[in-house]
C-alpha cells in the first residue's frame, strides 16, 4: 500500500524550513494501477443525479494517460515551498516574494475542494506585475490543516478561528507585522476571522464570499432585481446543491474511506464541483489539467477524510455576525454559489471600500478568470 504522503526534506519542528516535493514513484504507480482497474457504476437515470458516467470515464482516462504529476511538482518546487509547526501542527505554504521594494505582504487562503493549486496561475502577476504603476505583493499561500502537505490534525479543535490564529502566527514568523488577506470558500471565513480576531494585523481584506446575516428590520422592498435573483439562487443551492456539505459536516470519516481508497471516487467528488460551481460548460474557464492537478494533490496526500473534517469542525459554529472593522472589499463572480445583498454585507463589513459584481467567473475565480481576479485584488489593495 502506498504511504499517505511524501516525506518533506527538512525538519518542520524548527521555525520555517524548505519543503521539496518528490512523491515516491511507487505512489504514482499505485495510482495508475488503480485507474486501470477502476470500477464505475451504471449511467444515471437522470442528469440531476450527479456527474455523468461519460464525463468521469474520460477524466479517468486523461488522468491515467495524459496527466503529468512531475510537472506539478516542478511548478510547486520552483515557487518556493516551506513548512513550519504552529500550535503543534505542521503547516505547508508557498511563500513567493516580489522583487519590488514596495511590495505588500498578502496571505491567500483556499477552501474546499481547492488547494494552493488555485493560486499558481496568478502568482507572477501578483508578485511582479511588470508595471511600476501596479501594486505588487509578497504572496503567502498556506495549505489548510488536513489539506495538501499540511499535517492532518489527530484530535478535534482545528476550526476556522484556530486556523485564523495560526495564520496570524505564520505571518509573524515570516516577519510580516501588517498584511493584506484574501480568501474564498473556507478561505473567506478564515480571512474574515483574521480581520475580526486580529484587526491590528490585517491592513485590508478581500473576499469573494462574505458571510453576513439579514439585518434586523431589513426591508425586502429595497432589494434590487439582481439581489432577488442572488437570494433565490442561494436558496436553490442550499436545497439541491449542498448534499456534499451535509455529509462532510456529519460523517466525514465514513465518506473518507471511499475517497482515500478510490481515485475515481475522489476524482468525481471534486470534479463535480468544478462543473457545478464554474461559469460555462464543462469546467468553465478552468483547464482540465488544473482540475487533475488539484485532484492529484488530494489523492497523493490521502486527504479525502481530513479535508472534509473542516466541515465537521466548523459548520454551524462560524462567527457570521461580529462586525468587521478593517477595510474590506468584495468581488462577486456570477457562478458563485451564495451571494448576499450589498446592504447585508455593508451592515457587517462596516468599512467596505470596494464592491464589484463581475460579468464572468465563478467559485474558482483565480483559475477561471485569473486576469479578472488579479485586477480585483489590485483595485482593492492598490490604494
Q: Residue 83, exposed/middle/buried by CB under 10 A (0-12, 13-18, 19+)? A: buried
* Beta-carbon count within 10 A of 46 CB: 7
Cis ω for the linkage preceding 216 (within 30 of 0)? no
CA distance 107 to 197: 16
Among 185, 279, 293, 372, the active-site one is 185
Q: Residue 47, exposed/middle/buried by CB under 10 A (0-12, 13-18, 19+)? A: exposed
Q: Is 185 a catalytic residue?
A: yes
The DSSP code sequence of 24-65 is: -HHHHHHHHHHHHT----PPPSSGGGSS-HHHHHHHHHHHHH
Assess contact for 157 and 313: CB atoms under 8 A.
Answer: yes
Among 176, 298, 311, 349, the active-site one is 311
Say how far residue 323 (Cα) sits from the centre of its chain.
Answer: 24
Q: Is 332 a catalytic residue?
A: no
Assess contact for 300 and 6: CB atoms under 8 A.
Answer: yes
SS3 5: coil
Q: Is 311 a catalytic residue?
A: yes
CA distances from residue 73 to 247, 296, 304, 373 in whole angstroms, order as listed? 31, 11, 20, 24
CA distance 70 to 320: 41
The greatest distance separating any two alpha carbons of the chain, rounded to the nearest whole angstrom, comes to 61
Helices (H), the chain: 25-36, 53-65, 69-79, 123-127, 160-173, 186-197, 225-236, 243-250, 252-261, 263-276, 288-300, 304-314, 342-348, 365-368, 370-381
CA distance 204 to 328: 6
- Give me the active site residues, please: 185, 311, 363
Amino acid at each position: 500500500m502506498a504511504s499517505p504522503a511524501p516525506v518533506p526534506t527538512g525538519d518542520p519542528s524548527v521555525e520555517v524550513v524548505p519543503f521539496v516535493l518528490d512523491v515516491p514513484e511507487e505512489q504514482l504507480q499505485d495510482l495508475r494501477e488503480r485507474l486501470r482497474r477502476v470500477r464505475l457504476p451504471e449511467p444515471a437515470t437522470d442528469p440531476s443525479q450527479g456527474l455523468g458516467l461519460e464525463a468521469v470515464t474520460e477524466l479517468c482516462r486523461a488522468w491515467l494517460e495524459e496527466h503529468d504529476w512531475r510537472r506539478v511538482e516542478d511548478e510547486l518546487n520552483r515557487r518556493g515551498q516551506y513548512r513550519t509547526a504552529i500550535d503543534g501542527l505542521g503547516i505547508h505554504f508557498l511563500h513567493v516574494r516580489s522583487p519590488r521594494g514596495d511590495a505588500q505582504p498578502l496571505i491567500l487562503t483556499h477552501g474546499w475542494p481547492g488547494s494552493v493549486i488555485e493560486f499558481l496561475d496568478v502568482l507572477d502577476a501578483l508578485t511582479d506585475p511588470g508595471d511600476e504603476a501596479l501594486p505588487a505583493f509578497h504572496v503567502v499561500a498556506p495549505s489548510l490543516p488536513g489539506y495538501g502537505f499540511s499535517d492532518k490534525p489527530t484530535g478535534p479543535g482545528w476550526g476556522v478561528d484556530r486556523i485564523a490564529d495560526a495564520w496570524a502566527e505564520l505571518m509573524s514568523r515570516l516577519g510580516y507585522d501588517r498584511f493584506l488577506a484574501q480568501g474564498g470558500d473556507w478561505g473567506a471565513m478564515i480571512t474574515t476571522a483574521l480581520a475580526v480576531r486580529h484587526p491590528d494585523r490585517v491592513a485590508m481584506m478581500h473576499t469573494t464570499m462574505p458571510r453576513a446575516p439579514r439585518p434586523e428590520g431589513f426591508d425586502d422592498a429595497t432589494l434590487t432585481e439582481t439581489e432577488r435573483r442572488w437570494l433565490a439562487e442561494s436558496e436553490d443551492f442550499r436545497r439541491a446543491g449542498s448534499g456534499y456539505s451535509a455529509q462532510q459536516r456529519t460523517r466525514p470519516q465514513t465518506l473518507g474511506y471511499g475517497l482515500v481508497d478510490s481515485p475515481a471516487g475522489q476524482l468525481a467528488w471534486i470534479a463535480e464541483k468544478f462543473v457545478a460551481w464554474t461559469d460555462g460548460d464543462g469546467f468553465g474557464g478552468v483547464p482540465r489539467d488544473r482540475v487533475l492537478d488539484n485532484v492529484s494533490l488530494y489523492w497523493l496526500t490521502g486527504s479525502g477524510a481530513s479535508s472534509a473534517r473542516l466541515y465537521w469542525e466548523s459548520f454551524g459554529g462560524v462567527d457570521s455576525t461580529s462586525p468587521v472593522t478593517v477595510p474590506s472589499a468584495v468581488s462577486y463572480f456570477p457562478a458563485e454559489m451564495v451571494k448576499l445583498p450589498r446592504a447585508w454585507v455593508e451592515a457587517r463589513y462596516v468599512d467596505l471600500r470596494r464592491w464589484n459584481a463581475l460579468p464572468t467567473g465563478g467559485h474558482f475565480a483565480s483559475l477561471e478568470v485569473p486576469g479578472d481576479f488579479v485586477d480585483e485584488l489590485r483595485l482593492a489593495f492598490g490604494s
